[in-house]
């Protein structure tokens, strides 16, 4: 019998794992973390935030510069982190880089009343992408609007199909407290998944879709974007899924230390490296992806000592 969640009893999450796995992850030093590299899983460390976000921004630019009309390529990107977005625009403008043939997929968006939230919504991810990046790029250098693929409630099939006609070189992401990328949250603990979470095979078949958000995700977004007002955070979202992720050449996750905590940044790396796959920790299914890279801002990795601060 699996453990009950310590944070949301009617849901699956990482607190339902065996204590042995949790303790092993918590005990890891930064040196231990660096040694989790294996074929198909790379750990990269950055010692300054400037280098960290510059490297993330360059993934956008290097991908777009490789794209041509007859061989289109793109990147799927997150909101969280966001600090890379103005850097992308500034580099393109200052170096006068023509990225007109590049493509971009937004990986998720909030949903209210059965539709994606409008760009006028204060938490709109589309608005953030536009205001922080795309609207800042010189129009003579920027890709056309049709090359920017936003997820909407009525275009899910078209969005998913675009990954077949355009090569997604990199799927970027951050990691939430619930150990998701995009909004690939754990499932509710209800039939047929009341005894065990979905198998990796079942989870891998999920494509872009509208989901109910895990309570931990609601709490985190209230903390990071709403001053703690949980009632201001939509309870549903539309998200890219594993289907689109496995059509991407590389998954690049950016751990700045401002989203998940020292334990979470260790747990998912440990599970992916050791190929411990459990969908209560959605990020762990990336253990089967052929190319995953975890990028860390070293000063924020911290440790998991239990002490009063």
Q: Give burial (CB, 10 Å; 0-12/13-18/19+) of 139.
A: exposed
Contacts of 174 (CB under 8 A, 6+ apart): 78, 80, 81, 181, 253, 254, 255, 256, 259, 260
Q: Which residues of 5-19 are buried (b: 16+ CB within 10 A; e: fewer)?
A: beebeebbbbbbbee
Contacts of 203 (CB under 8 A, 6+ apart): 242, 279, 282, 285
Locate all alpha helices (DSSP H) within the chain, ordered by sequence: 19-26, 30-34, 49-66, 84-95, 125-132, 156-165, 200-204, 215-225, 242-245, 262-274
Task: Output the pLDDT for position 63.
Answer: 98
Q: What is the CATH T-level fold of the domain 14-300, as seen in this structure?
A: Rossmann fold (3.40.50)
Task: Output the pLDDT for position 95.
Answer: 98
* Residues 289 and 40 sit within 8 Å (Cβ to Cβ): yes
pTM of the predicted protein model: 0.96
DSSP assigned state of 187: P
Task: Output the pLDDT for position 258.
Answer: 87
Coil, strand or helix at 116: strand
Task: Output the pLDDT for position 268.
Answer: 98
pLDDT tens string for the chain (309 positions)? 899 999 999 999 999 999 999 999 999 999 999 999 999 999 999 999 999 999 999 999 999 999 999 999 999 999 989 999 999 999 999 999 999 999 999 999 999 999 999 999 999 999 999 999 999 999 999 999 999 999 999 999 999 999 999 999 999 999 999 999 999 999 999 999 999 999 999 999 999 999 999 999 999 999 888 888 899 999 999 999 999 999 999 999 999 998 899 999 999 999 999 999 999 999 999 999 999 999 999 999 999 988 887
């Amino acid at each position: 019998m699996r453990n009950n969640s310590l944070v949301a009893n009617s849901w699956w999450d990482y607190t339902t794992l065996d204590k042995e796995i949790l303790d092993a992850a918590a005990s890891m030093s930064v040196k231990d973390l660096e040694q989790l590299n294996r074929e198909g899983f790379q750990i990269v460390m950055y010692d300054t935030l400037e280098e960290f976000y510059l490297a993330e921004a360059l993934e956008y630019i290097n991908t777009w510069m490789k794209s041509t009309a007859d061989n289109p390529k793109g990147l799927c990107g997150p909101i969280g982190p966001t600090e890379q977005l103005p850097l992308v625009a500034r580099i393109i403008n200052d170096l006068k880089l023509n990225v007109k043939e590049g493509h971009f997929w937004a990986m998720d968006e909030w949903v209210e009343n059965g539709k994606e939230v409008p760009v006028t919504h204060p938490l709109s991810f589309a608005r953030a992408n536009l205001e922080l990046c795309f609207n800042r790029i010189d129009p003579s250098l920027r890709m056309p609007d049709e090359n920017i693929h936003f997820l909407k409630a009525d275009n899910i099939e078209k969005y998913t199909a675009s990954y077949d006609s355009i090569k997604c070189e990199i799927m970027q992401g951050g990691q939430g407290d619930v150990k998701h990328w995009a909004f690939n949250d754990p499932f509710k603990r209800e039939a047929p998944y009341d005894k065990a979470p979905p198998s990796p095979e079942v989870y891998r078949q999920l494509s872009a879709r509208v989901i109910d958000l895990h309570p931990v995700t609601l709490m985190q977004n209230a903390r990071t974007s709403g001053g703690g007002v949980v009632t201001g955070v939509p309870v549903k979202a539309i998200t890219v899924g594993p289907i689109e992720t496995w059509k991407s050449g590389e998954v690049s996750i950016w751990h700045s230390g401002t989203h998940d905590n020292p334990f979470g940044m260790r747990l998912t790396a440990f599970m992916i490296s050791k190929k411990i796959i459990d969908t209560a920790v959605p990020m762990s299914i990336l253990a089967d992806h052929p190319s995953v890279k975890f990028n860390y801002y070293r000063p924020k990795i911290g440790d998991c000592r239990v002490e009063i601060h």
